[in-house]
Amino acid sequence: MIEAEEVPKPSINDLLERLTLGVSKSLEKRPGVCDVELTGGEPAERHQLVGWEQRNGCTLPDDLKNFYLTTDGILLTWNVIAEGNKFPVGRMEINSFNRLVKINASGSTSSLANTPSLADVEMDHSSDDDSSSDDEENTKRRSVPHFDNRSRIFELDSCQGYGKACLVYLNTSPGLPAHKPEIWLMDRSLQWHFLSEDFTSYYRLMLMHLGLPQWQYALTNLGLSSTAKQWFNLYAPIRLKMDEDKTETTDAQTQPQRSQDNSKIDFIKLFRGRVSDRTRPKAIPPSQSQIRKKGSLQNFTSGASTKSNSSRGRSSKPWT
């Protein structure tokens, strides 16, 4: 009996290379890029994932489960050499399973005793929402995360200090398990920005943006800073071109309406009596038929005038 040959397991480096779709190899070929490092952790055990779900009252989505069962987080960094100086530029990170911690409303945002906690911030936001509850636009907006028991929030990426990419369970109820999380960005002012409906979409966006600085902000209405745009111009110009084309399309849709409205205005009538000779329309020369009609009309009026004069002459001077 022939025994089947055992298929060798891929190394951790090969596995990570597949997970990142060869982005690290592509980055090494780009001008100025150096120190491309890709690291990951040992896969999590399934019982660890089950224990996390029981402790937090949340069901992890299948795509995130499979990710942690493959590698315990991922970190890809790369630098750029310019004029003899090295700059840390790219960073793609998904927190390890142990760092997938919940952001509590009771936690303070600072170590100082007098600083407000997230619960205080949530009270301020709730009062703002109540005051504008009758606004039609608020009813059309997507439900945003809350720091109280209405949401359960877990940190996926610290975003190098300019925000937090979070796994958010919306519309949760105490004592009931939460399902179907979304990915949101919390900026430094504790405002929320929607990024993607699932972890797979967020992961693909991270790879597409090459982990460039502040890449999450390119998906929000805040946009990128001037420094981040410079790095995007160098290593992801197509991404910026997409935003420019979108802006031009929006402007083009509104421009014909503006020009059409302007064409309806008769400026000569609007400023009648104030039009200069330069702007006054030139007289159109008469056609030949109009000249003939005018000539016959003049002959008729001149004949009538002569006849009238002769009759008046005979009546006034009978001796002639």
Q: How far is CA 290 from CA 10, 225, 281, in A?
A: 96, 70, 20
Mean pLDDT of 172-199: 95
- Percentage of the chain lying above the pLDDT 90 cut: 53
Q: Is the dihedral of CA 278, 281, 285, 290 positive or negative?
A: negative
What is the residue-averaged pLDDT of the chain? 77
CB neighbour burial string for 57-82, b if at least 16 within 10 angstroms, e if fewer? ebebbeebbebbeebbbbbbbbbbee
Q: Which residues contact 29 (CB under 8 A, 6 or more apart)?
A: none
pLDDT at residue 262, rounded to an integer:
45
Residue 272 to residue 276: CA distance in whole angstroms: 10
Q: Is the pLDDT of residue 133 over 60?
A: no
CB of 17 closer than 8 Å to CB of 24: yes
More confident residue, 40 or 250: 40
Q: What string of DSSP letters covers 193-231?
A: EEEESSHHHHHHHHHHTTT-TTGGGGGSSS---HHHHHH
Q: Is the pLDDT of residue 14 over 90?
A: no
Q: Which two tokens stand for residue 31?
A: 């001008």
pLDDT at residue 193, rounded to an integer:
96
pLDDT at residue 308, rounded to an integer:
46
73 dihedral zone (left: phi>0; alpha: psi -120 to 50; beta): left
More confident residue, 122 or 303: 122
Q: Give the confidence band of 119 by pLDDT, cuts at 50, 70, 90.
A: low
Residue 235 to residue 36: CA distance in whole angstroms: 14
Q: Give the confidence band of 101 by pLDDT, cuts at 50, 70, 90.
A: very high
Q: How far is CA 141 from CA 159, 224, 240, in A?
A: 25, 23, 26
Q: Which two tokens stand for residue 233?
A: 């111009």
Most trustworthy range by pLDDT among 100-114, 204-218, 254-268, 280-294: 204-218
Q: Give the confidence band of 315 by pLDDT, cuts at 50, 70, 90.
A: very low
Q: Look at the block and give the residue holding tokens 């409906």.
A: 197
pLDDT digits (tens, 9 = 90+) for 44-69: 999 999 999 999 999 999 999 999 99
More confident residue, 283 or 270: 283
More confident residue, 293 or 36: 36
pLDDT at residue 300, rounded to an integer:
43
Q: Which two tokens stand for residue 196?
A: 């993607």
